[in-house]
Amino acid sequence: MPIVQQFQQWLFRFGRDEQLPVILNQRRIFIVPTRTGFLFGVVLGLMLIGAINYNLSLGHALVFLLAGLGLVAMVHTFRNLVALRLTPGRVEPVYAGDVARFQMHLENTHRQDRRSLDLAFGQSESVSLDIPAGKQASIAIPFPALKRGQLDPGRITLSTHYPLGLFHAWSYPHPRLSCLVYPKPIETPLPPPVSVSHTGQRHGDNGQEDFTGLRLRQPNDSPRHIAWKAVARDIDHRPLLIKQFAGGAAEELWFDFSSVPAADTETQLSILTGWVLAAERMQIRYGLRLPGREIAPNQGSTHRDTCLETLGLYGEKDH
């Protein structure tokens, strides 16, 4: 590793923060004057030269008063960050091309408010918040998800100019953050379904002929199969019931990677993603075949998320 990179890693602590919460101590906070601060210092210097030249006692008093004000502002800018506690929150998966939002929880254990805190990943869009004394606050930091897979946004830049804007204080917390990025969906016509015979040993929602009874509703069940007449008899206390059928033939969809009409892998994965979302909206059972991986036909949010995660991580070494 070059000497410059070693120095930067030692100075700014580019390494991961393995322990949570991340606590900003004095060694992790850096502070420099802003452009306004430099101009403020230059003006004070000119005022001091004028006061000395013309022997103005009030001029000296004003210069020293303003210089003291600048020093107090520097201390308050530094204290606006020190001892803050950061803990990463849950990150919802997104599709390629969308903006991922990394949840971050900040805790202020001191008796003074923390104001005008800015958080960002590198040069990405920043967000701001205030934290009352002794309270916690949460904020979502945006970061563009340009491609599918596991997204690592890198270190966070936490900065402030409070209270007067004369100084810029910042820190580089780097907790472990990751967001799952699904392929960008492409809507194309679904492939033809495959007819599957169901025996009395299997129950499902599609293509059944004979009513066999009622059961309690599960989160993945379609609202079209709720037994509304049975529920209406005691709508305040009776749980939602689902009608069960058996026999007949049901149609299932198989989404096979090798049969997707596309020239490159990313387009194939995007088409498969569009098929998964379309089949889920239509409440159709579907399965997924990828090289080295097969997911049996099913439906529901859990099955959908499993398929989308498999598509998003396809080809990654750790998957």
The answer to whether residue 164 sits within a structural domain is: yes
- What are the residue ranges of helices labelled H in the chain? 3-12, 35-54, 57-79, 228-232, 265-281, 301-312
Position with higher pLDDT, 239 vs 311:
311
Sign of the dihedral through C-alpha 257, 260, 266, 269: negative
How many domains does the chain fold into? 2
**37 plus 153 within the same structural domain:** yes
Across 205-222, average pLDDT: 57
Give this prediction's pTM: 0.76
CA 104 to chain centre: 9
- Measure the CA–CA gap between 148 and 179, rounded to whole angstroms: 10
For 49-77, give one letter per residue: b (16+ CB within 10 A) or e. Answer: eebeeeeeeebeeebeeebeebeebbebb
Position with higher pLDDT, 317 vs 151:
151
The answer to whether residue 171 sits within a structural domain is: yes
The answer to whether residue 64 sits within a structural domain is: yes
**267 plus 245 within the same structural domain:** yes
Q: Residue 117: which region, alpha, beta or left (left: phi > 0; alpha: psi -120 to 50)? A: beta
pLDDT category, 101, cuts 50, 70, 90?
A: very high
- Measure the CA–CA gap between 136 and 106, rounded to whole angstroms: 6
The answer to whether residue 319 sits within a structural domain is: no
What is the per-residue pLDDT for 200? 39
The answer to whether residue 317 sits within a structural domain is: no
Question: Could you tell me the residue range of the domain that residue 119 belongs to?
Answer: 1-180
Structure tokens at 265: 């892998």
- Of the residues 147, 180, 213, the one at which a domain ends: 180
**175 plus 122 within the same structural domain:** yes
What is the per-residue pLDDT for 191? 84
Across 176-180, average pLDDT: 94
User: In the chain, pLDDT over 70 holds for what percent of residues?
Assistant: 77
Position with higher pLDDT, 11 vs 259:
259
**139 plus 212 within the same structural domain:** no
What is the per-residue pLDDT for 143? 97
- Measure the CA–CA gap between 306 and 63, rounded to whole angstroms: 67
Strands 127-131 and 114-121, sheet pairing: antiparallel
The answer to whether residue 27 sits within a structural domain is: yes
**143 plus 9 within the same structural domain:** yes
User: In the chain, pLDDT over 90 holds for what percent of residues?
Assistant: 66
Average pLDDT of the chain, as a whole number = 85
- Of the residues 127, 145, 180, the one at which a domain ends: 180
Instruction: Supply the CATH number for residue 39's domain.
Output: 2.60.40.3770
What is the tens place of the pLDDT at every residue in 50-90? 999 999 999 999 999 999 999 999 999 999 999 999 999 99
What is the per-residue pLDDT for 220? 57
Strands 99-107 and 94-95, sheet pairing: unpaired
**150 plus 218 within the same structural domain:** no
**173 plus 198 within the same structural domain:** no
**18 plus 41 within the same structural domain:** yes
What is the tens place of the pLDDT at every residue in 104-158? 999 999 999 999 999 999 889 999 999 999 999 999 999 999 999 999 999 999 9
The answer to whether residue 301 sits within a structural domain is: yes
What is the per-residue pLDDT for 114? 96
Q: Residue 13: which region, alpha, beta or left (left: phi > 0; alpha: psi -120 to 50)? A: left
**168 plus 219 within the same structural domain:** no
HSE of 92, CA atoms in CB hemisphere, 13 A: 8
**224 plus 104 within the same structural domain:** no
- Of the residues 180, 209, 230, the one at which a domain ends: 180
Under DSSP, the state recorded for 225 is G
**131 plus 26 within the same structural domain:** yes
Position with higher pLDDT, 74 vs 244:
74
Under DSSP, the state recorded for 91 is -
The answer to whether residue 185 sits within a structural domain is: no
Structure tokens at 49: 């030269």
**121 plus 80 within the same structural domain:** yes
